[in-house]
Structure 1
Amino acid sequence: MADTAARPRGWQYLRYCYGAVLPVSMRDWVANDLAGKGAPLRMVVRWAIPCIILMLPMLFVPADWGVRFIMFSPIPIAYVFFSIALNVIYRRHRLEQHGLNPDLVKRNERVRNADLYDEYHRKYRGSAR
């Protein structure tokens, strides 16, 4: 993907992070954002930020720090676990929303493991792909 591709700015980027669809002119940027290097981590961070912001008031409850931590920690931890588990599914959905091929999500993995796939096909299917 080209680094010179149009990218969202300010409010448009914030809306995109939480579900808005960008114009067709930004498809290259969207494809790189959702399927490029670092995409899974970007998605987890985007999902964690609102959760942490909503949980911050619990840190101001008048109690011992241990109690505050016990009140605060279970929800963000579960939230991050679910965001990791559903990461690929959500990125595929976002690619579909923008009119892109959802299989782009696994593109980097397929390229990295191409020799393993070829070996599998040769060994178990009788021919290389």
Structure 2
Amino acid sequence: MTRNARRPNPIQWIGYAFGRRLPDSMTDWVRNDLAGKHATARHILRGMIPFTPLFAIFLFFPGELWLRGSMVLLAALLALFYTAAFMPMNRAHRLAKHGLPADLENPERAHRRAQERARYAAQHPH
């Protein structure tokens, strides 16, 4: 299997951003996307994509440019807030939708947490 076959093409990625399931051949890509390095930044970017048509519509409303820009800014800030606030639930849903464990986490983060627990247990024995 080639590297390109394991990555979604732009149409598939847009569908994925809107909540569609990717083929099973892309499970490793989905795992990395949702639990790999920079997963939070990717989630926020991906979460803003469905709102872009709304932002574009706001630019065509009647009124001064600053007013329309303010509408877009307010909508973008609200979308950003809700994208970040519902990140754990959306992430778990996407993981489960692709047949991965809903509590999957970044391996590096899991290793660091295990090390911290071991240090804590060594410093504070029962």
Q: TM-score range by the shorter chain?
A: 0.7 to 0.9
Give the whole-Å Cα distance in 1 for the aligned partners of 2:6 and 2:58. Answer: 40
Contact 2:59 2:69 (C-alpha < 8 Å) held by counterparts? yes
Name the structure 2 match of 1:75.
75
Cα drift, residue 106 of structure 1? 4.8
Contact 1:21 1:98 (C-alpha < 8 Å) held by counterparts? yes
Cα drift, residue 113 of structure 1? 3.7
Give the whole-Å Cα distance in 2 for the aligned partners of 1:69 and 1:13. Answer: 28
Q: How many residues align?
A: 124
**Change in 2 beyond 3 A, CA 1:82/1:121:** farther
> What's the TM-score once normalised by structure 1's chain length?
0.77
Give the whole-Å Cα distance in 1 for the aligned partners of 2:12 and 2:68. Answer: 35
Contact 2:95 2:102 (C-alpha < 8 Å) held by counterparts? yes
Structure 2: tracts of 5 or more residues without a match: none
> What's the TM-score once normalised by structure 2's chain length?
0.79
- 3-state SS of 1:102 partner: coil
Name the structure 2 match of 1:27.
27
Structure 1: tracts of 5 or more residues without a match: none
1:1-129 equivalence runs, <5 A: 4=3, 6-124=6-124, 126=125
Identity across matched positions, percent: 35
